[in-house]
Amino acid sequence: MSGIVVRWKEKKELFPRGITGEEVLKQLAPDLVGRVLVMEVNGEVRDLARPLEADAEVKFLSWEDEAGKRTLRHSASHVLAQAVKKLFPEAKLAIGPAIEDGFYYDFAVPRAFTPEDLEKISAEMQKIIAQNLPFERREVSREEALAYFREAGEKYKVELIEDLPQDAVISLYRQGDFVDLCAGPHVPSTGYIKAVKLLSVAGAYWRGDEKREMLQRIYGTAFTTKEELDEHLRLLEEAARRDHRKLGRELDLFSLQEEGPGFPFFHPKGMVLRNELEAFWRAEHRKRGYEEIRTPIILSQELWQRSGHWDHYRENMYFTEIDGRGFAIKPMNCPGCILVYKSKSHSYREFPIRLAEMGLVHRHERAGVLHGLMRVRCFTQDDAHIFMLPSQITQEIKGVIDLITYIYQVFGFSYQVELSTKPENAMGSDEIWEQATSALREALEQAGMEYKVNEGDGAFYGPKIDFHLRDCLGRTWQCGTIQLDFLMPERFDLEYIGEDGQKHRPVMIHRTVLGSIERFIGILIEHYAGAFPTWLAPVQARVLPITDRQLGYAQEVASALTAEGVRVEVDGRNEKIGHKIRDAQLQRIPYMLVVGEKEMAQGTVAVRHRERGDRGAMPLGSFIAGIKEEIAARSIESGKWC
């Protein structure tokens, strides 16, 4: 048997052809046996049991690697399916992928799963894990796979096989007496799944199609230690406590109505929060030379065909007809901004031209993916489009990076950066894409930014830099983006008069900072658990008279605060002061000003802070000065001054 060369880190050794990754691991890194979950062979993630047939560079992946996590959780989904088939033989198998922080499997069953069912399934999974069953891969022909699943009555698996390309490699995985259609990879055996938890059941349409049958989806998660699982479950409980939909109702910020699914309604307090956020955004953009515009939400079909959205985004758009012409509700703001640019001629002396827009856009989302403010059908994008000379590209990108960094810091967010490259459905030549991608990469490196490359995830008209902010629970949210575009100026024949008196083509940047205003508000609600910094809080102070005798003084205090621009309420209800304080605490109001006979006589207020408790009495003027300073500084921490 001829040999093959296997390279791992600095080691390079000759092995017999057909040796498995597991055997290579034992010889090259015996101390890692039991920790390695899967291997990467020449860039392809594979089972450790797969034979190596040619020279290879290998990486051994553990739980610390994302591919290791995905593999273990995908393997847990197969254990879930095996347990369900054991307890519910009539169940039909659909799909069971790993997802972020967990996994799921979809089943067709005569009745919905109950919490008691989940307990039984979980117990059966533990038995399967304890058996330490190996995951065994076997590649089969299309005919053999179809025959097997037809005989087993697994119609969903048959449909999946029939939809595979003719030249696709079809593989089956077995653990014990359970066999599933799967491309893999998997961990070596079920015993590697040390800690698993089933979380919930939900309905899910087969293949995400609302016209297809509804299946039962069981969600779960898996870890290599019980301690990690316990910490994850604690974070899930905390996330549930912070759920923006729940807090949105409790704090009376917004609502979602059956009459407008996916179209949020902002209430008065929610509008205060939104207006403060937008005012901050506008002020920072004015400082950086942006001019604000507004464009219509309905524009002609021809415009969207010209921009490329018609070919690349039509399934997500809403349409109408006016005077016999086709129109669309805008899913993006860029074509409207381009029309503003084209409305007059431009000289090179004007550049860069920075046009900003709080633009309302509409996108058709399936009902099953709608989620509070995080996934909606209409939202406001804090867009801006920068028209510039090619020589200004790097400096303008760095300017946007500085703006995004500053605004995220104000809210206390850190972030990570991804550079997304040309997707499959991209417009334009490889040369243009390489030029644009190189420009983004150069700007990131000049700005000293660490980033990772996200291959194939650019916009259809250009590569992009995405900013993923991290909240207090460690979750990441993609919000800001910078997209460099050489193609839209070409498609819309944009021009400027250069220094030589000739017509030239400008370059264009599309960018957002917050992304969607609605979604960003949802993130803020959860990040702060509804206890917003004072400058953002819908109500910044509430005056609490102890008895009706102090109601007049309470109203005088409120009037003085209002005159200084502080948002204030008076709780004049005939309730005990303890009840009023508890209610203000539940509403996450930063400051409670208790006023009794003593305070009324001395012109003071007894200050309580929502987190710091009783701060003592102080003159009203001192309180006004302190809270105004805190608001002006947009401080994240509230109440440190008193």
Q: Does the annotation mark 580 as catalytic? A: no
Catalytic residue among 274, 309, 464, 580: 464
**Could you confirm whether 381 is annotated as catalytic?**
yes
Distance CA 148, CA 158 (A): 9
Task: Tell me: cis bond preceding 185? Omega within 30 of 0 counts.
Answer: yes
Name the residue type at position 181.
L
Catalytic member of 334, 337, 378, 479: 334
Whether 363 sits among the annotated catalytic residues: the reply is yes
Question: Dihedral through CA 273, CA 274, CA 276, CA 280, nearest 10?
Answer: 140
**Residue 416 backbone dihedrals phi, psi, to 5 degrees:** -125, 160
Active site residue 267: no
CB count within 10 Å of CB 625 equals: 14
Q: Active-site residue among 216, 381, 540, 587?
A: 381
Catalytic option among 69, 86, 309, 510: 510
Known catalytic membership, residue 334: yes
Which of the following is catalytic: 363, 422, 519, 588?
Answer: 363
In this structure, are strands 604-609 and 613-619 parallel, antiparallel, or unpaired? antiparallel
Q: Please pick, among 383, 471, 485, 571, the residue that the annotation labels catalytic.
A: 383
Q: Verify whether residue 466 is a known catalytic residue.
A: no
- The residue from 330, 385, 519, 527 that is catalytic is 385
Cα 362 → chain centroid: 18
Beta-carbon contacts of residue 237 (< 8 Å; ≥ 6 apart): none
Closest CA to 330 of 353, 350, 290, 357: 357
d(CA 339, CA 328): 16
Of 233, 204, 87, nearest to 79 by C-alpha is: 87
d(CA 640, CA 612): 9
Report the C-alpha gap between 642 and 638 in whole angstroms: 9
CA distance 547 to 572: 9
d(CA 403, CA 392): 17
**Can 385 be counted among the known catalytic residues?**
yes
Nearest CA to 337 out of 303, 297, 304, 295 is that of 295
- Look at residues 212, 95, 211 and name the one whose alpha carbon lies nearest to residue 161: 95
- Which residues belong to the active site? 334, 363, 381, 383, 385, 464, 510
